[in-house]
């Protein structure tokens, strides 16, 4: 059927078209515009941005708040990504095996993911409350005097990362599904060789899941650099001492609080570059380790 | 001290949920013997292997290996090696990695492990594949890798779960011979599972015919073929299966029993007592199978030499070899 063969690519493009249009209009075009605005003096209030060349780039270099912001984002990344991955992988592997009541545990793990960010953040304001929050009460059981979580830079960073360790549903589901697809006979063969549970985890599960885990790490890195806006805004508003002034928070401040639309666009471009550099480094490392063949 | 490689199964019973996989199986395997477990799917063949290997625990009964009840012995401390049906090679490791896996787990020194892996690979003719990944090898090569991996356990018993099932026909034939040679060289007790009756006939000193978790017959393949203990065995071993006629009918004989005759024990004879119409002729090259229907509706399968010279629609007369007619009880199906 020659007609079918000719029309097949056309059909494929027809199905792709709505998505392609959306990507072009909602992602590619704004990203390009953003890049263009980064070299203007646009405030977001007037309609006549002027081209100012590298002025905004020069301002970047002298901006101490930006340095703090990048530092905050980097520390957050180092805390939150391993914590989230560990939680998603650990819980995914623990709950993959069919067990009585297992489904309730799986629901419990997924539940925080469907709670809106703001609601979760407000909940954590209560959890972290130094006077009556359950976290300090829990610490009190062990004789710890408790902490003023959101008032100290270190503990505030930890608190935000802690909150973001809960909405891990997607990663959890991916690990769960990937683990269930592994051939049970491999584990039986390993058990016959004398390979215990930890040996099986180290020699079978993790290497076999490596491609999925790398994907999750890349995804979580991108996500973590961006989704920290709501918790930081609700919990700390970027404070204390700029410890949680993550890049999205700082960009929001610049664009909407200080009317620095163009400068915000410049920082957004920086965030994209930083994300790109981190992902590239991650993939190079993965190739070096020969995790994927 | 019992001789190495002796296995005894005593009233072994195992069910998975409501499904009874094994229902009181007794079996004694001699040292160095090759025993084939054969039966339709769901007959409990693989379950027996899993219980011997220790991958599952019996509900009742005992597994005795080398004179020791192994109920409390974990799988890796039993002197058994298992080759899985689809080989269960580790896809993320090279062939070398697959062979070294168990040795590394058992903390064998690196140089010695390499040496032993190489020797096993040489023995099975896969030394040139050591740096490939399993998905870069053929079905036959994968089977050899799995065998080499089993070899490295230096077991007193090999358990082979349908080792030839995933190979294509010509390869299966060659590999069957290789397996026999290997078994003869090693002289190690081997229990081999198959649902293929040709394999059951050719591999193994004795066959154990299983059905619904019970042993139907144990014996040397030819003996089981020649003297099936019941109608199930008669129908299961042999392709095409034995003609079984309830009440004797056209084959004559016991009216209260079942009379059986194998297709090769029926021949076309102008003076034969049975009149039949040829319905189909399957020419298989070296032989032909005639599907015939008698006047009373009974269907008889006849195996003849090639080019039998009859065609569908032809009337023929058949004669059964009187010495090779089997009689079974109509109620129990047992041989009389």
Q: How far apart are CA B47 and CA B81, in angstroms?
A: 15
User: Any CB–CB contact under 8 A between B82 and chain A?
Assistant: yes
What is the homologous superfamily of the domain A57-289 according to CATH? MetI-like (1.10.3720.10)
Task: Select the residue of B80, B81, B88 nearest A186 (Cβ to Cβ).
Answer: B88
Within-domain flag for B2: no
Query: Under an 8 A CB cutoff, do A194 and B92 touch?
Result: no
Mean pLDDT of chain A: 88
Chain A nearest CA to B237, separation (Å):
30
Nearest CA in chain A to B94: A293
Region A172-189 average pLDDT: 93
- Same domain for B113 and B248, yes or no, is no
Nearest CA in chain A to B83: A189
Among A224-228, A230-234, B251-255, B297-301, the range scoring the smallest mean pLDDT is B251-255
Chain B residues within 8 A of A207 when measuring between CB atoms = 92
Q: For residue B181, give both structure tokens.
A: 């040679």
Among residues B182, B215, B233, the one where a domain terminates is: B233
Q: Which of these, A284, A92, A283, lies nearest to A206 by C-alpha position? A: A92
Give the per-residue pLDDT at A292. 59
Within-domain flag for B335: no
Q: What angle do CA A131, A136, A138 make, to 5 degrees?
A: 135
Give the per-residue pLDDT at B126. 92
User: Any CB–CB contact under 8 A between B60 and chain A?
Assistant: no
Q: For residue A155, give both structure tokens.
A: 């503990």
Chain A residues within 8 A of B157 when measuring between CB atoms = none
Query: Under an 8 A CB cutoff, do B90 and A191 touch?
Result: no
Q: For residue A36, give both structure tokens.
A: 């263009």
Within-domain flag for B277: yes
Chain B residues within 8 A of A204 when measuring between CB atoms = 90
Give the per-residue pLDDT at A2. 46
Show which residues on chain A lie within 8 Å of chain B, measured between beta carbons: 183, 185-186, 188-195, 199, 203-204, 207-208, 210, 293
- Same domain for B69 and B203, yes or no, is yes
Give the per-residue pLDDT at A143. 86
Q: Tell me the β-bridge partners of A265.
A: none
- Same domain for B271 and B124, yes or no, is no
pLDDT mean by block of 10 residues, chain B; 336 residues: 79 92 94 93 92 93 91 90 92 94 92 94 92 92 93 92 86 86 91 88 91 94 94 90 84 78 93 91 92 90 91 92 90 88
How many folded domains does chain B comprise?
2
Give the per-residue pLDDT at A173. 94
Other Cβ atoms within 10 Å of A198 Cβ, number: 8
- Same domain for B42 and B137, yes or no, is yes
- Same domain for B311 and B291, yes or no, is yes
Chain A residues within 8 A of B54 when measuring between CB atoms = 192
Nearest CA in chain B to A186: B88
Chain B nearest CA to A211, separation (Å):
11
- Same domain for B92 and B142, yes or no, is yes
Among residues B198, B233, B268, the one where a domain terminates is: B233
Q: How far apart are CA A75 and CA A67, in angstroms?
A: 12
Within-domain flag for B334: no
For A99-136, the pLDDT digits (tens) are 888 899 999 999 999 999 899 999 999 998 888 888 88
What is the DSSP track for B266-288?
EEE-TT-SEEEEEEEEEE-SS-E
Chain A nearest CA to B90, separation (Å):
7
Q: How far apart are CA A12 and CA A22, in angstroms?
A: 16
Q: Which class for B330: exposed (0-12), middle (13-18), buried (19 or more C-beta within 10 A)?
A: middle
For A48-79, the pLDDT digits (tens) are 888 888 888 888 888 889 899 999 999 999 99
Res A289 pLDDT > 80: no
Q: Which of these, A29, A30, A69, A35, lies nearest to A229 by C-alpha position? A: A69
Chain A residues within 8 A of B82 when measuring between CB atoms = 188-189, 192
Task: Select the residue of B75, B90, B133 nearest A191 (Cβ to Cβ).
Answer: B75
Within-domain flag for B306: yes
| Chain A interface test: which of B57, B83, B90 (most A C-beta within 10 Å) | B90
User: Any CB–CB contact under 8 A between B86 and chain A?
Assistant: yes
- Same domain for B255 and B199, yes or no, is no
Query: Under an 8 A CB cutoff, do B88 and A188 touch?
Result: yes
- Same domain for B292 and B159, yes or no, is no
Can you give the CATH number for the domain in which B277 is found? 2.40.50.140
Task: Select the residue of A190, A195, A208 nearest B92 (Cβ to Cβ).
Answer: A208
Q: Tell me the β-bridge partners of A281.
A: none
Can you give the CATH number for the domain in which B68 is found? 3.40.50.300
Task: Select the residue of A188, A193, A293 nearest B101 (Cβ to Cβ).
Answer: A193
- Judge whether B116 and B153 are in contact, CB under 8 Å: no
The angle, 0 to 180 degrees and rounded to 10, between the axes of the packed helices A64-94 and A261-289 is 40
Q: For residue A111, give both structure tokens.
A: 């539940």
Where in the sequence is the domain holding B219, given as residue range(s)? 7-233
Taking one residue from A and the other from B, the number of pairs with CB-CB distance under 8 angstroms is 54
- Same domain for B104 and B152, yes or no, is yes
Give the per-residue pLDDT at A5. 55
Among residues B176, B210, B233, the one where a domain terminates is: B233
Q: Could you tell me which residues come within 8 angstroms of residue B311 by beta carbon, excluding any fewer than 6 positions away?
A: B278, B281
The full set of domain ranges for chain A reads: 57-289
């Amino acid at each position: 059927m020659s007609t079918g063969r000719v029309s097949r690519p056309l059909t494929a493009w027809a199905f792709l078209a709505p998505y392609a249009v959306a990507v072009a209009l909602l992602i590619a075009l704004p990203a390009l515009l953003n890049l263009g605005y980064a070299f203007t003096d646009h405030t977001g209030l007037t309609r006549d941005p002027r081209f100012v060349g590298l002025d905004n780039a020069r301002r970047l270099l002298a901006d101490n708040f930006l340095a703090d912001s990048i530092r905050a984002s980097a520390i957050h990344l180092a805390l939150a990504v391993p914590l989230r991955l560990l939680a998603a992988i650990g819980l995914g592997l623990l709950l993959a095996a069919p067990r009585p009541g297992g489904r309730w545990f799986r629901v419990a793990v997924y539940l925080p993911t469907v709670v809106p960010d703001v609601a979760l953040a407000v909940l954590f304001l209560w959890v972290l409350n130094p006077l009556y929050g359950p976290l300090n009460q829990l610490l009190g059981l062990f004789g710890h005097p408790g902490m003023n979580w959101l008032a100290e830079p270190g503990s505030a960073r930890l608190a935000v990362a802690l909150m973001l360790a809960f909405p891990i549903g997607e990663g959890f589901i991916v690990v769960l599904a990937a683990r269930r697809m592994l051939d049970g006979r491999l584990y039986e063969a390993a058990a016959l060789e004398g390979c215990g549970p930890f040996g099986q985890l180290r020699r079978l599960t993790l290497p076999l899941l490596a491609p999925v885990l790398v994907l999750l790490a890349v995804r979580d890195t991108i996500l973590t650099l961006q989704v920290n806006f709501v918790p930081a805004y609700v919990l700390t508003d970027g404070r204390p001492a700029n410890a949680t002034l993550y890049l999205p928070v700082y960009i929001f401040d610049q664009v909407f609080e200080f009317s620095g639309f163009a400068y915000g666009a410049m920082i957004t471009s920086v965030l994209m570059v930083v994300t790109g550099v981190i992902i590239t480094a991650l993939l190079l490392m993965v190739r070096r380790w020969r995790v994927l063949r | 001290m019992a001789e190495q490689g002796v296995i005894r199964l005593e009233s072994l019973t195992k069910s998975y949920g409501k499904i009874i996989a094994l229902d009181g199986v007794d079996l004694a395997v001699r040292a160095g013997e090759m025993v084939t477990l054969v039966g339709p799917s769901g007959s409990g063949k693989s379950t027996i292997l899993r219980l011997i290997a220790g991958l599952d625990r019996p509900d009742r009964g005992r597994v005795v290996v080398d004179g020791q009840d192994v109920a409390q012995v974990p799988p890796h401390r039993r002197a058994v090696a298992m080759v899985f049906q689809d080989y269960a090679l580790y896809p993320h490791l090279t062939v070398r990695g697959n062979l070294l896996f168990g040795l590394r787990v058992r903390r064998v020194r690196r140089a010695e492990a390499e040496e032993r892996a190489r020797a096993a690979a040489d023995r099975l003719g896969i030394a040139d594949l050591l740096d490939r990944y399993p998905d870069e090898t053929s079905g036959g090569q994968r089977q050899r890798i799995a065998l080499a991996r089993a070899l490295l356990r230096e077991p007193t018993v090999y358990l082979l779960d349908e080792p030839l099932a995933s190979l294509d026909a010509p390869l299966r034939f060659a590999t069957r011979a290789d397996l026999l040679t290997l078994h003869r060289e090693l002289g190690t007790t081997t229990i081999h599972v198959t649902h293929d009756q040709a394999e059951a006939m050719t591999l193994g000193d004795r066959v154990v015919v299983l059905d619904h978790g019970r042993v139907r017959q144990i014996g040397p393949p030819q003996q089981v073929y020649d003297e099936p203990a019941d109608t199930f065995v008669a129908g299961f071993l042999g392709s095409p299966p034995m003609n079984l006629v309830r009440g004797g009918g056209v084959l004559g004989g016991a009216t209260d029993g079942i009379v059986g005759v194998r297709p090769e024990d029926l021949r076309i004879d102008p003076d034969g007592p049975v009149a039949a119409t040829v319905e189909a002729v399957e020419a298989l090259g070296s032989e032909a199978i005639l599907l015939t229907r008698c006047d009373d509706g009974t269907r008889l399968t006849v195996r003849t030499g090639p080019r039998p010279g009859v065609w569908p629609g032809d009337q023929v007369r058949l004669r059964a070899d009187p010495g090779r007619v089997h009689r079974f009880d109509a109620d129990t199906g047992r041989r009389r």
